[in-house]
Every structure is written in C-alpha cells, then in structure tokens.
A and B are shown apart, each in its own frame.
Chain A
Amino acid sequence: MARRSKRNVAIVATGQTDHRSKRPDVNIVEMINEAVRRCLADAHMTMDQIDAIVIGNMEHFEGIFFTEMWSVDGAGSLLKHGMKITTGGTTGSSLAQAGYYHVASGLFDTVMTIGWEKQSEGETTAGLIFQADPLWERATMSGAIGSFAGSATAYMHKYGITEEQAAKVAVKNRKNAMNNPHAHLKMDLTVEQVLSSKMLAYPIKILDMCPTSDGACAMIFASEQKAKKICTDPAWVIAAVTRHDQPFGGDLEMVMNLRTLRSAAEEAYRIAGIHEPFRDFDVAELYEPCTFAELSWYQAMGFCGPGEEGKLMDSGATQMGGELPVNPSGGVLSTNCIGATAMIRVAEAAIQVMGKGGKRQVPGVNRAIATGFGGSWWSDVMILSKTI
C-alpha cells in the first residue's frame, strides 16, 4: 500500500520538442537538448540549478546501450546525479514517478526528468517483438497493432462498443491536437474518414492507431520551498501509483479490461481522497495507444459503469468544453515518441493545472489525472492538484 510522500513535491515546469514523424535536422542528443532548454526556459532556471537528472527511452528502438551516458551533453547531467529507468511504454510515467520520489526522499530539491524516443532512427515493431519470449511467444508476436486488434474485437463483442464510437475518439483527439503546438498529427477528421481509412487488422484502421514520432519531453520536480519560488501555480503531486502484470499471448481480454489500470486508479483515488472520479477531476490525460483503448480506460478508471463508455463518448462529455475533457493535448493518437509518451501525459496534466495550456487550456483546472500504459499491460496513474 502506497501513501502520499512525507514531503510535498510539485511539477514546476515542462518542455517539449515539436514532435514529428522524422527529425533529420537534429541527432538524438540535440533533440533531448531542445526539450531540456525549453523546460529550463519555462522555469526561468539554468542547468546549474538542477540537482539531478532522471532519463529514459527504449534502448532497443534506436539500438544504443547506456543512453543515459551517451546523452550527458544534451541532458545536462555532467557531474550531476543521473539515473536511467525504463519500463517500455510506461517509461515516461515511471520517470515522472521517479522524479517525484527523488524530491520526496529529501535528497534532492530540483530534479529534471527526461523521456525521449527517435523512432525514425530505428524499427519499433522489431524492437517490440524482442520483448516476447524467444521460444513460446516470439513466433506469433506481431507488435502493437496485432495485440490491440484481437483485444478490441473481444472488447466490442463483450460491451457492445461500435467502431463508430471508437472513431469518435480519433476525431476528438486529433482535433484537440490542432490547439497543441507540440503535437505531431493535427487533423480535422470526420467519423466517416476514420471508418474508411486503411484497415490494418480488424477492427483497427490506420486512423485508430497512434503514430510513431520523434520527440522528447522534460519536466522539473521541486520541493515545496523551491516550487513556490520557481512557479506561481505549481502542479502538486498528490498520488503516484504503478501496477504491473504478466499476461501471455492468449490473454486478449486483459488489454481492454485493464486490471492494472483499475487497481492503480483505485489506489490513487484512495490516496487522493477521490470518490467520484468523473466529477472530481477537471481534466484527464490518458495514454490511449488506440481509439478503443481510450473508451475502455473510461470504464477501468471509473468514469462510467461497465459498457457505458460508448454512451459517454456519444454524450460529448469528454470533448473540450465537456464535463471532463480527456486528452486536450491530442493524446497518444496525435503524438507517440515512446519513451516520452507517458511523460507527456503527466506534463500535459501539469500544464493544465499550472494554467499554461494556451489554446488547449481547460478553464479552471484544480485537479488532473494522467496515466501511462505499456510493458505488458502495465499502468501508471498520477494525480496532480492546484492545492497542496
């Protein structure tokens, strides 16, 4: 059972690259540096005011070992405390939680977390297939799309979810992305366009899936004393919870009935004193690798009852201007630089709490929730608040 930290910790600044499918203009270390500089500028700080760096990516995607060592010049970690944490898709949120623990431990006052991926310099699906057991699983492992296709089919059948309802997620998130200067895919789509887009593996069409992106995200976590000096409206970390699992190839239903997310959300709500998540949060940034996933996460997180998520989508409650806007940033469907993806959820939730969202700002955000998804159906949940 986790508790809230003894020491108060806040997110005081964020920095992101402008995510693209390819960034041939920069190398990886330069790309990381772009996010770091933007983050420092957001905080009006210099690198010598940062005590420690926590960094991560998926090493097999670019084929470089000890990336935390290689990237020292870009990350600014020279002669500082540096740590690398990697957990697959949840890498970004694992890093954010590590940033929280670093400051909460009392050993550091200002910690920068950095998540990044330059997918154009590697082959992600090959990298993903390497996660499967070489004897039992690898022969049938088909990367992300195949796993989601099987589970989305089971999910539609079990809960009566339609392809149209899923398509609405793609329309909503890519439209939201038009308000986000950092987002990769900014598109004004119709449900019809999503439904008639190229079929990848039934029922997943190309516009139902997240893209592959190049990009980096950095954040600064600070102790209470420092946070109040750095930022007028810091985003206080109220809860951070992780849940892991180990399903095997045939456990299709697990993906869309994500017990790790259900369990992580319940624990986070207990720590934060949340009783009615749909009402108690003002905004949510969810790690939705495909459209169907966002719908099923609504259910797993208790935003609605089982099978009601299609109707919740139809009602418009999760649109900008709705009761609980979900993914005002455009979500993972708009940007997916894997090691950064889950950190971007936390960063975007913090941006909303700090009131720095510009055109994507939801008015009057007091409490926000962010999730990470990855590994083998692992979940991270973080709850941020305007008040300690």
Chain B
Amino acid sequence: MADRVGIVGIYQTKYEPRKVFDSYPELVFEACSRVLGETGLTIEDMDNIVTNSQDFWDGRTISNRTVSEACGSVLRSESKVAMDGSFAVFYAAMRILSGCYDSCLLVSHCKMSEGNPHLINHAMFDPLYQRILGFDELSTCALQARRYLGKYKVTEEQCARVSVKNLRNGKLNPHVHRAMEVNVDLVMRSAKLADPIKELDAYPVTDGACAMILATEEKAKEWCPNPVWLSGMASRLDSFYLGDRDLAETASLTLAAKKAYQMAGVSNPAKEIDLVELSEFYSYQELLWLEGMGFCRRGEAGKMLDKGITELEGEIPVNPSGGILSGVPVTVAGAVRVAEAALQLMGKAGKRQVEGPRRALAQGHCGPCGQGQCVIILERGV
C-alpha cells in the first residue's frame, strides 16, 4: 500500500455478562466520547464514521438508526458494516485510503444478553434445508471441532489448554469478565454443550462496545505520538453449505492471510509476526486458525501450545488479552482483536503487555464455521 492508515485512539467499555444499566446508545456514546476525549479530539475532527452492529442481535431493523446521536453522525457521513468488527476496521481503513476522508471514527457494539443466542444464530442457516436440522453456531462449530480433531489427531485436552491459557491471560485484562485460573481437568469436566465443546471451551454471553479512531498518515502523526499502521488487510468468503467444505480446512482464512502477508511483506509469519490476537469463539478455533494462517503445519498448533510458544511470555503470544473466551461480545470481537493488537504495539497493554512487539496480526470471522475471514497486519509506528 502506498498510503498508510494509522490507528490513533482506542477505547473499550468494560465487557460484562449483562449490562442492565446501559442501553445500546449509551454504550456507543461511552465508547465514542471517551475515545475522542482520550485522544484529545472532538467529533468535529472526524469526517466520517463507520458503525458496526447486527440487526438480529439488536432486535432492531436498521440497528445503526438507534446510535446516530450517540456516535455523532447527525448531519455527518456514516455507514454500517453488518459483519464481524474486523471487516468494519477494514472498511474504515478503505474509506481513508480512498482519499475522500482524513479520519474515521469506528464503533462496534453488541448486547448479547438482550437476545437468545441460539435463535439468532439459528437464523443464519438456510430456512428450508438447514434450519430443520436445528443448526446453530454451537452445534455446527461442534461438527467442525469433531472433524478437525479427528482428521488431524488433535486432542480435547489440547483444546482445553487453549482455554487454560486464555482465561489466565484474561486475568491481566481489566475489560473482560470471565478470566480465571483453571486447569485442563476443570475445562474437561465443565458442562458439555455440544460434543466435543464444553462450557469452558466456549465464549460466554457478553455485552459491550469498542471504538477506535483511524486516520491518514499525516493526521495520525499529528494526533498520536505512536500510531499503529495497518500494513496488510484482506478478507475472503468460503462456501456457505457445510457439506461443500471440509470443515477441518480453512480455504478462506488461508487465502486472506496470504494476501495480507503479501501486502505487509511477510514471508514467514511464525518468524516475522510477534503477536497474534485471533477470534477463538471456541477453544479449537485458536488451533485451527493458527494452522490456517500458516504459523505451523496442519495439526501442529496443539504442539506449539504444548511447547509454550503461544503463552504470554512465549515466542508468539496468542491472545495475550485473554481472547474471546475471557468474555468479549460477538461482532465487537473482531474490532477488539485489532484494538488489542494495536494497544500491544503502542505499548499501552498494561499488565498483559508483551515485550516489544513490532508487528502483530489480528483476525476476525463471521458466518457458519468461520466462513468469512478477515486478517489485518499491524505495525508499530516508525
């Protein structure tokens, strides 16, 4: 990319299981006003806004209609990306790269507690051919987990170790709510949700919002002493029908990662990327996505974990934030991966700070079993 887009400000609300005292607009207002305030800017400095939410989760047609005042889009330009938050970051960056705008305020929100996750996720399946099977996100991801574990001889204990690592990392992150010290045995003995996924292998119901400010290189340098640059961005969509894919493979993720690496000049991700924030709604996904993005060979991510490579102090820390398993809402999840990667590169990650990362990868996905994948490479400011 000839032009660079920088992230100059980030604000995350506290993520909680049930934010009864905050409506959607209140969450969005908190995130937007605080990110502007903390960056020393006002809404007048923002010439474009991208919101990110889902009508189905909000139970509202045109979900961004509710947050116009809260995000400051009254008589301003705003658009809504109705996918995972990582795609919204991509679109916000694209709007700046177009040359039409100097800056973009991005805000993503979701209150999972106000809906029924089973019914909402059930609605993403074909009404005639799939809904009759009772599919939802959990049951189809369980199918994917079984296929992956079986094909590559990955064990449930290795998946449980992802939960142990991420829930422990989460204890260092003040925003998440389900951080805890557990061992493999506890994860294995937690309530079975859909074989092989157990309660501590799955993300919890969470409410919250995340906002960030993106800007052109010129504005980013003016507004922030250490902006983080987006050096590679790509997304790809896989087949919709589960039977059209081998669920142990990750065609869309692998292609998206390849394209993002090419843009960022990365030839060996395991050597050239210092930190990964990825979207593990279920513990098996952390292993599958790492393999899909070429951090190791197929079936070997579990071994990386066993060797401690992906621990906070390891060679390639994966989800030092505690990931989605520690409690981050769906949709917001991808934006939070980018936000956490950027905080690490800015050196603002507090107790979860990894030592001196220069390049990070953030990954988000949406649709059945990771159908749509988005990979973003971030670099520390120079």
Contact = CB atoms under 8 A, between A and B. Distances in A.
Contact of A104 (B73, B100, B251, B368): B100
B98 A5 contact: yes
Interface stretch (A61-69, A228-236, A340-348): A61-69
B101 interface: yes
B237 A69 contact: yes
A68 B79 contact: no
A86 B235 CA distance: 18
Interface stretch (A237-245, A299-307, A316-324, A356-364): A237-245
Contact of A376 (B65, B87, B90, B234): B65
Contact of B55 (A53, A59, A78): A59
B75 A78 contact: no
Contacts of A180: none
Given A84-B83, A243-B77, A64 B61 contact: no
Interface stretch (A10-18, A94-102, A325-333): A94-102
B94 A101 contact: yes
A241 B81 contact: no
B372 A69 contact: yes
Interface residues of B, number: 61
B262 to A, nearest CB: 12
Given A4-B99, A263-B75, A375-B62, 20 more contacts: A63-B123, A66-B368, A68-B82, A69-B366, A69-B367, A70-B240, A81-B236, A81-B237, A82-B236, A87-B62, A87-B80, A101-B98, A129-B61, A130-B59, A134-B59, A241-B77, A242-B79, A243-B76, A245-B75, A375-B65
A259 B76 CA distance: 11
A242 B78 contact: yes
A79 B251 contact: yes
B74 A80 contact: no
A69 B234 contact: no
A1 B61 contact: no
Contacts of A26: none
A107 interface: yes
Interface string A103-121: 0111100000000000000
18 contacts: A5-B99, A58-B62, A65-B54, A65-B120, A70-B126, A72-B237, A73-B239, A77-B237, A78-B237, A80-B237, A81-B235, A81-B237, A83-B81, A83-B87, A130-B59, A241-B77, A245-B68, A374-B62
B142 to A, nearest CB: 19
B32 to A, nearest CB: 14
Contacts of B48: 2
B335 interface: no
A289 interface: no
B99 A64 contact: no
B207 to A, nearest CB: 17
A23 interface: no
Given A2-B47, A83-B81, A107 B233 contact: yes
Contact of B74 (A6, A60, A129, A245): A245
Contacts of A312: none
B263 to A, nearest CB: 8
A142 to B, nearest CB: 14
Nearest to A70: B240
B35 to A, nearest CB: 19
Interface in B276-323: none
Classify the secondary structure of A's interface with B: mixed
A130 B115 CA distance: 14
A83 B91 contact: yes
A56 interface: yes
B68 A65 contact: no
B64 interface: yes
B97 A3 contact: no
Contacts of B240: 69-73
B56 A106 contact: no
A131 interface: yes
Contacts of A97: 79
Interface of B: 1-3, 47-48, 54-56, 59-62, 64-66, 68-69, 73-83, 87, 90-91, 93-95, 97-101, 120-121, 123-124, 126-127, 233-240, 251-252, 255, 366-368, 371-372
Contacts of B65: 88, 131, 246, 375-376
A80 B236 contact: yes
Contacts of B234: 81
A257 interface: no
B101 A2 contact: yes
Contacts of B61: 58, 60-61, 88, 127-131
Contacts of A101: 91, 94-95, 98, 100
User: Which 9 pairs show the lowest CB-CB distances between chains A and B?
Assistant: A6-B99, A69-B367, A104-B98, A246-B68, A105-B97, A88-B62, A65-B123, A131-B61, A66-B124
A66 to B, nearest CB: 4
A244 B75 contact: yes
A287 to B, nearest CB: 15
A154 interface: no
A79 B237 contact: yes
Contacts of B237: 53, 68-69, 72, 77-82
A371 interface: no
Contacts of A3: 99-101
A85 interface: yes
A56 B91 CA distance: 14
Given A3-B100, A105-B94, A131-B61, A60 B79 contact: no
Given A81-B235, A88-B62, A5 B100 contact: yes
B79 A85 contact: yes
Contact of A82 (B47, B95, B372): B372
A246 B65 CA distance: 7
A102 B255 contact: no
A97 B94 CA distance: 12
A66 B369 CA distance: 12
B222 to A, nearest CB: 16
Given A3-B100, A58-B61, A85-B81, A244 B124 contact: no
A2 B77 contact: yes
A85 B90 CA distance: 12
B68 A376 contact: yes
Contacts of B368: 66, 69
Contacts of A83: 81, 83, 87, 90-91, 235
A175 B126 CA distance: 39
Given A59-B82, A245-B75, A131 B60 contact: yes
Nearest to B56: A65
Contacts of B1: 106-107
